[in-house]
Amino acid sequence: MRRILESNVSKNLREVSIIVDQPYYNQNLNELFSNKKYEKLHHVNFVFRTRPDRAIPDATRWSTLLKAAMPKLDGRGILRTHVDVHLRLFNEDDF
């Protein structure tokens, strides 16, 4: 992933979404996305994706942890956090 992000793509990148299924964040991303190459970046989304049968983190705590780990991105106002709980909805084809 880092190799892709460090390529010429970065010059025009406006938004990045990083989806995880466990509480994970890489502090190196704080430095990488704070680089001058990413000055056009408007949003860095960290999405915690889970299911109802797994632990569901508190959205406020998830946000607080990431803001502490990513102070430069938070300072620029581009850090976004979400907790998504995916529900399996059945339709008639499932039966």
What pLDDT digit, counting tens, does each position of 33-75 carry? 888 888 889 999 998 888 888 877 788 888 998 999 999 999 9
- pTM for this model (two decimals): 0.75
Is 42 a member of any domain? yes
| Domain enclosing residue 39, as ranges | 14-89
Structural domains in the chain (count) = 1
Is 81 a member of any domain? yes
Q: What is the DSSP letter of 78?
A: -
Q: Which two tokens stand for residue 60?
A: 């406020």
Q: Which residues make Cβ contacts (< 8 Å) with residue 50, sequence separation at least 6?
A: 21, 56, 57, 83, 84, 85, 86
Task: Give percent above pLDDT 70 in the chain.
Answer: 79
Is 69 a member of any domain? yes
Is 50 a member of any domain? yes
Is 20 a member of any domain? yes
Q: Which residues pair with 81 in a beta bridge?
A: 46
Is 4 a member of any domain? no
Is 94 a member of any domain? no
Strand order in the sheet with 79-85: 15-20, 43-50, 79-85
